[in-house]
Structure 1
Amino acid sequence: MTGFWGVTRAIVGREFLRFVHQRERFFAALVRPLVWLLIFAAGFRAALGLSIIAPYQTYITYETYIVPGLCAMVLLFNGMQSSLSLVYDREMGSMRLLLTSPFPRWWLLFCRLFGATTISVLQVYAFLAIAALFGITMPPLGYVAVLPGLILGGLMLGTLGLVLSSFISQLENFAGVMNFVIFPMFFLSTALYPLWKMAESSPLLRDICALNPFTHVVELIRFSLYLQFNLSALAWVLASTLVLGLIAAWGYDPSRGMMKRKG
């Protein structure tokens, strides 16, 4: 156990050091959701108006509605950014050196994923603090209750990034693929509009949104912020994390996955 704790501390500590030395990542992670919250929401407010849907008990402003989706956006972009650094480490050779250590590969990947998720959660709380300064607040206990949802959502989205990084060999290719993953996942979800609003325009798109794992991350965060439990969203997030984790472990196995072909 001492060895496992030591490798965990080393990998997570390395992630924090990298984050400290790349302060622009912190500000970039906040600029994107703040642009949506303070600029785009002002224009969409007139088109979408107000909503009364679970978990809300009364009418809410559009800005309030999109906050959980923007929290998930921070997790999504940071999960992809962390996986981008994995591709870089693999090109430099440090990732292969890490995977040849005597510790289980799944544990090494989990440590890397946990470090990136912890940083993402801190950035989400920074975003929520800034949103509160503009008068967009949640129930006080919701800021505590949402923590498990943020961690689970961050792990799922980070695991998705691990899968992508395990099957993409070059840094330039990964940066391009990110756009084909991030934007469809974000826009085809409940981050910006509820499912009933999507169903009004296209039942097919509504079904796609309902099957999108990112939708369930958003809803898990949304319900947690309002001290409610969403079993369906939790089950989707846990199942997606498990499936993606197994694929990532296979992809990073030098004896079977894509890592072998890249060697």
Structure 2
Amino acid sequence: MQVASVIPIAAPPLPVHLLRALRAVVGRELNRFLRQPTRLGSALVRPLLWFVVFSAGFNNVFGVAIVPPYETYIEYKAYMVPGLLGMVALFNGMQSSLSMVYDREMGVMRLLLTAPLARGWLLAFKLLAGTCLSVLQMVVFLAIAWAFGVEVPLTNLPGLLVAMACGATMLAALGLMLSVYVKQLENFAGTMNFVIFPMFFISPALYPLWKLEESGAWWLLHLAEWNPFTHAVEAMRYALVGQFTALSWSVVVGCGVVFFVAALWGYDPQRGWVKTKGGGG
């Protein structure tokens, strides 16, 4: 009896393998988002409420002095736009973290992390998916702000988009890191409140930092200066007027790398929650 020989199938080249994984991970997140059109609306309700209501109510309260990056007085709604873009990215970063915790409880993370690819690539693709969703929502909000009279010079738009993408990546990496340590969905709401609201309110998102200095709140001023979200907002604020701030860009890139490395460490089966949870189930 003649036994047919089995011809082994060659593994695809690494770039092809990476492209397939990228399409699977990022495509899954984008498809989930596009199948839920109300998710975009709910993500924009909060910043639009701040933009429409607070810009009208506080326009004469928060006078914006001529300080960098501005060379003239501006309307309060124009000042708010970078901060509200940061709000969109911050909340979406936390939403991505919630998605990771949910996938872990449902067992999806176990399947993902046992794929025949380096763990770093898989987490990088999850990070890219979160960044894409944030930038998509930020672009929609920017278009609405434009319709309400906030001018964005077309020559400054490429730099602003890069700043938006970098800020969104940093905040998505923060969410990825937090997903390591949030063990259950029930604990997530408390974690969001503990992270989101201090980061947002102790920043120049809604009022310039010199207001804190003027009021004598030095400890709040120093906290705001050490807040990574502050520098994400400032990078977008400078980019919106065609300027560059090396300090803010350095903090955004540096913190993004630190958060992602911390997430990698947490998802390491030898050290992180995967070892503790017995395989990520």
Alignment partners' CA distance in 2, 1:132 and 1:158 = 25
1:261 is aligned to 2:276: yes
Alignment partners' CA distance in 2, 1:225 and 1:6 = 36
Counting only pairs closer than 5 Å after superposition, residues 4-19 of structure 1 correspond to structure 2 as: 4-19=18-33
Q: Secondary structure at the match of 1:48?
A: coil
Please tell me whether Structure 1 or Structure 2 has the larger radius of gyration of its CA atoms.
Answer: 2
Post-superposition offset of 1:142: 2.0
Alignment partners' CA distance in 2, 1:99 and 1:116 = 17
Which amino acid counterpart does residue 68 of structure 1 have in structure 2? P
1:23 is aligned to 2:13: no
Alignment partners' CA distance in 1, 2:94 and 2:64 = 32
Conserved in 2, the CA contact under 8 Å of 1:169 and 1:262? no
Conserved in 2, the CA contact under 8 Å of 1:84 and 1:175? no
1:66 is aligned to 2:80: yes
Conserved in 2, the CA contact under 8 Å of 1:113 and 1:158? yes
Which amino acid counterpart does residue 21 of structure 2 have in structure 1? V
* 1:84 maps to which of 95, 98, 103: 98
For residues 116-139 of structure 1, what are the alpha-carbon distances to aligned partners after superposition, in whole Å with 9 as ceiling and x for unaligned? 211211111111111111111222
Q: Which residue in the other structure is 1:147 paired with?
A: 161
Q: Which residue in the other structure is 1:215 paired with?
A: 230
> TM-score normalized by structure 2?
0.91
Percent identity between the two aligned chains: 53
Post-superposition offset of 1:176: 1.9
Post-superposition offset of 1:51: 2.5
* 1:133 maps to which of 131, 147, 150: 147
* 1:36 maps to which of 34, 50, 54: 50
Which amino acid counterpart does residue 104 of structure 1 have in structure 2? A
Conserved in 2, the CA contact under 8 Å of 1:216 and 1:234? yes
- Structure 2: give runs of 5+ residues left out of the alignment: 1-14
Alignment partners' CA distance in 2, 1:86 and 1:221 = 27
Q: Which moved more, 1:243-252 or 1:133-142?
A: 133-142
Which amino acid counterpart does residue 180 of structure 2 have in structure 1? S
Post-superposition offset of 1:143: 2.2
Q: Which residue in the other structure is 2:7 paired with?
A: none
Conserved in 2, the CA contact under 8 Å of 1:41 and 1:62? yes
Alignment partners' CA distance in 1, 2:112 and 2:236 = 33
Alignment partners' CA distance in 2, 1:57 and 1:166 = 43
| Higher share in helix | 1
Q: Which residue in the other structure is 1:228 paired with?
A: 243
* 2:183 maps to which of 165, 169, 173: 169
Alignment partners' CA distance in 1, 2:262 and 2:64 = 41
* 1:204 maps to which of 195, 216, 219: 219
Q: Which moved more, 1:40-49 or 1:187-196?
A: 40-49
Post-superposition offset of 1:144: 2.1
Alignment partners' CA distance in 2, 1:147 and 1:83 = 23
Conserved in 1, the CA contact under 8 Å of 2:167 and 2:252? yes
- Structure 1: give runs of 5+ residues left out of the alignment: none
For residues 84-131 of structure 1, what are the alpha-carbon distances to aligned partners after superposition, in whole Å with 9 as ceiling and x for unaligned? 011000000011110111211111011011012112111111111111
1:52 is aligned to 2:58: no
Alignment partners' CA distance in 2, 1:198 and 1:141 = 33
RMSD: 1.1
Q: Which residue in the other structure is 1:121 paired with?
A: 135
Alignment partners' CA distance in 1, 2:40 and 2:274 = 30
For residues 170-205 of structure 1, what are the alpha-carbon distances to aligned partners after superposition, in whole Å with 9 as ceiling and x for unaligned? 011012211110010000001011111111220111
Alignment partners' CA distance in 1, 2:176 and 2:137 = 20
> TM-score normalized by structure 1?
0.97
Which amino acid counterpart does residue 153 of structure 1 have in structure 2? G
Q: Secondary structure at the match of 1:141?
A: helix
Q: Which moved more, 1:40-49 or 1:235-244?
A: 40-49
